[in-house]
Amino acid sequence: MSTPQAQSPAAQELRVRQAEASDLGQVIAIDAEVTGLEKTDYWYELFHRYGGGRTRQRLFLVAEYGDAIQGFIIGEIRDWEFGSAPCGWVYGLSVRNSARLAGVGARMLDAICDGFRHAGVHKVRTLLGRDNSLVLSFFRSQGMMAAPFIPLEKDLD
Ligand SMILES: CC(C)(COP(=O)(O)OP(=O)(O)OC[C@H]1O[C@@H](n2cnc3c(N)ncnc32)[C@H](O)[C@@H]1OP(=O)(O)O)[C@@H](O)C(=O)NCCC(=O)NCCS
């Protein structure tokens, strides 16, 4: 007989949906857990622009099971920027530490890609830190490959 184990989010009823204002407290806590910074104003401002399904171009999704938010993903469609045809950009993604390696990140990426497809684009891109091997492993596992772009920067005095 097998012993009972804590159920992973993937094993339970995991739901990926549009973020709502009442999710922001948990989103801020997950972001603070991952980045070490609590950016309350930033998240409220971002929700104002991306939350609640206001437009098909901008997506702010959360993964939930029970009444707990396990992670979030943010992205948008940019038209003709960087000289490329309209495509979806994922620029924020985090899963609560205790919910990782259970398929939550993959479910959220699938959901945002579905949203991009419904809005009419057929390519998704992202940008990540060169030394962020965890996020690189994740995106590579989801079929994403190096893109034909080079990021450039300089300090502004
Ligand atoms: C990257 C991240 C979103 C992955 O979420 P997750 O729910 O654990 O990912 P999944 O369970 O869906 O994993 C899918 C695949 O990604 C890869 N992967 C995920 N975590 C990995 C790890 N720690 N090491 C290696 N590969 C990993 C695996 O190939 C995995 O497939 P498998 O479980 O069949 O091997 C999560 O680790 C995270 O939030 N990390 C911090 C993100 C961050 O730095 N955010 C701030 C900047 S945006």
Q: Do the Cβ atoms of 151 and 128 come closer than 8 Å?
A: no
CA distance 133 to 2: 35
Q: How far is the CA of 104 from the centre of ligand 1 (A)?
A: 8
Confidence of residue 12 (pLDDT cuts 50, 70, 90): low
**What pTM was computed for the model?**
0.93
> Is residue 157 domain-resident?
no
Residue nearest to atom 40 of ligand 1 (CA): 94
| 146 three-class SS | coil
Q: Domain of residue 58: give its range.
A: 14-141
* DSSP element (H, E) containing 46: helix 40-50
Domain count, the chain: 1
For the CA of 129, the closest atom of ligand 1 is: 47
> Is residue 90 domain-resident?
yes
> Is residue 87 domain-resident?
yes
Residue nearest to atom 39 of ligand 1 (CA): 94
* CATH label of the domain that carries residue 56: 3.40.630.30
> Is residue 76 domain-resident?
yes
Q: Do the Cβ atoms of 111 and 15 come closer than 8 Å?
A: no
Give the percent of the chain with pLDDT over 90: 83
> Is residue 150 domain-resident?
no
> Is residue 20 domain-resident?
yes
> Is residue 106 domain-resident?
yes
Confidence of residue 143 (pLDDT cuts 50, 70, 90): very high
- pLDDT average, residue stretch 22-49: 96
Residue ranges lining ligand 1, Cβ < 6 Å: 34-35, 92-95, 100-106, 134-135, 137-138, 141
Residue nearest to atom 26 of ligand 1 (CA): 137
> Is residue 92 domain-resident?
yes
